[in-house]
Chains A and B, each alone.
Chain A
Amino acid sequence: MSTGLSPEHPVLEVRNLKKYFPIRTGVLSRVTGYVKAVDGVSFSIRSGETFALVGESGCGKSTTGRTILRLTGATDGEIHYDGEDVLAATGERMRKLRRSMQIVFQDPYSALNPRMTIGAAIREILQVHGIASGAAAQERVEELLVRCGLESYHNSRYPHEFSGGQRQRVVIARALALDPQFIVADEPISALDVSIQSQIINLLEDLQNDLQLTYLFISHDLSVVRHMADRVGVMYLGKLVEVADKDEFYREPLHPYSQALLSAIPVSDPSAKKQRIILKGDVPSPSNPPAGCPFHTRCPYVMDVCRSVVPELKPTPSGHYAACHLVHPNA
Chain B
Amino acid sequence: MSRLQRGFRGRPVAMASLIVLAILYGGMIIAEFISPYSPTTVFRDHVYHPPNLTFYSQELGFGPQIQERVLVDQLNWRYARVSERYHRVELFVRGPEYEFFGLFRTNIRLFGVNAPYRSGGATWEGGGRNVPVFVFGADHMGRDLFSRVWHGARISLTIGFVGITISLTLAIALGGLAGYYGGKFDWLVMRFAEFVILIPGLYLILFLRSVLSRELDSGQSFMLITVILSFVGWPGSARLIRGMVHAIKREDFIAAAELDGIPPLVIVFRQIIPQMASILIVSITLGIPGFILGETVLSYLGLGIVDPAVSWGSLLNREISTLNNLRSFPWFLYPGLFLLLTTLAFNLIGDLLRDLFDPYYREKKIGS
Contacts and interface: CB of A to CB of B under 8 A. Distances in A.
A113 B259 contact: no
Interface in A193-227: none
A71 B261 CA distance: 11
A149 to B, nearest CB: 20
Main secondary structure of the interface of B (DSSP, over half): helix
A288 to B, nearest CB: 26
A114 B261 contact: no
Given A115-B274, A115-B275, A103 B261 contact: no
Contacts of B260: 98, 125, 128-129, 174, 177-178
B255 interface: yes
B259 A98 contact: yes
Interface residues of B, number: 18
Given A113-B271, A114-B275, A115-B275, A107 B262 contact: no
A285 to B, nearest CB: 23
B95 to A, nearest CB: 51
A129 B275 contact: no
A107 B253 CA distance: 10
B251 interface: yes
A117 to B, nearest CB: 12
A110 B252 contact: yes
B252 A124 contact: no
A328 interface: no
A174 B253 CA distance: 11
Interface in B247-261: 251-253, 255-261
A37 B342 CA distance: 57
Contact of B256 (A94, A99, A115, A174): A174
B261 A111 contact: no
B252 A99 contact: no
B268 to A, nearest CB: 13
A237 interface: no
Interface in A16-71: 66, 69, 71
A112 interface: yes
A105 interface: yes
A102 interface: yes
Contacts of B256: 103, 105, 111, 171, 174-175
A43 B262 CA distance: 30
B261 A95 contact: yes
A71 B263 contact: no
Contacts of A107: 252
Contacts of B258: 71
A9 to B, nearest CB: 25
Interface in A159-180: 171, 174-175, 177-178
Q: Which of B255, B256, B263, B275 has the most chain A CB atoms closer than 10 A to its own CB? A: B256
A94 B253 CA distance: 20
Given A115-B274, A115-B275, A71 B253 contact: no
A51 B315 CA distance: 77
Contacts of A98: 259-261
B277 A102 contact: no
Nearest to B274: A115
Contacts of A110: 251-253
Contacts of A69: 259
Contacts of A177: 260
Contacts of B252: 105, 107, 110-111
Nearest to A99: B261
Contacts of B266: 124, 128
Contact of B263 (A115, A121, A128, A178): A128
A69 B259 CA distance: 8
A105 B263 CA distance: 21
Contacts of B263: 128
Nearest to B270: A124
A281 B260 CA distance: 42
Contacts of B275: 113-115
A114 B256 CA distance: 13
Contact of B255 (A71, A94, A95, A116): A71
A103 B259 contact: yes
Nearest to B262: A128
A164 to B, nearest CB: 14
Contacts of B251: 110-111
B255 A103 contact: yes
A128 B274 contact: no
Contacts of B253: 110-113, 121
Nearest to A111: B252
A85 to B, nearest CB: 18
A216 to B, nearest CB: 14
A50 B66 CA distance: 92
B279 to A, nearest CB: 13
B248 to A, nearest CB: 10
A242 B266 CA distance: 42
A112 to B, nearest CB: 5
A129 B261 CA distance: 8
A190 B42 CA distance: 79
B167 to A, nearest CB: 23
Interface string B216-227: 000000000000
A111 B260 CA distance: 13
B262 A125 contact: yes
B259 A71 contact: yes
A121 B257 CA distance: 9
Q: Which of B255, B263, B271, B274 has the most chain A CB atoms closer than 10 A to its own CB? A: B255
B250 to A, nearest CB: 9
Given A71-B259, A124-B262, 17 more contacts: A69-B259, A94-B261, A95-B261, A99-B261, A105-B255, A113-B253, A113-B257, A113-B275, A115-B274, A116-B274, A124-B270, A125-B262, A128-B261, A128-B262, A129-B261, A174-B260, A175-B256
Sorted nearest first, the 7 A-B pairs with minimum C-beta distance are A111-B252, A105-B252, A125-B260, A110-B252, A115-B274, A98-B261, A113-B253
Interface of B: 251-253, 255-263, 266, 270-271, 274-275, 277
9 contacts: A71-B259, A98-B260, A98-B261, A111-B251, A113-B253, A113-B257, A115-B277, A125-B260, A174-B260
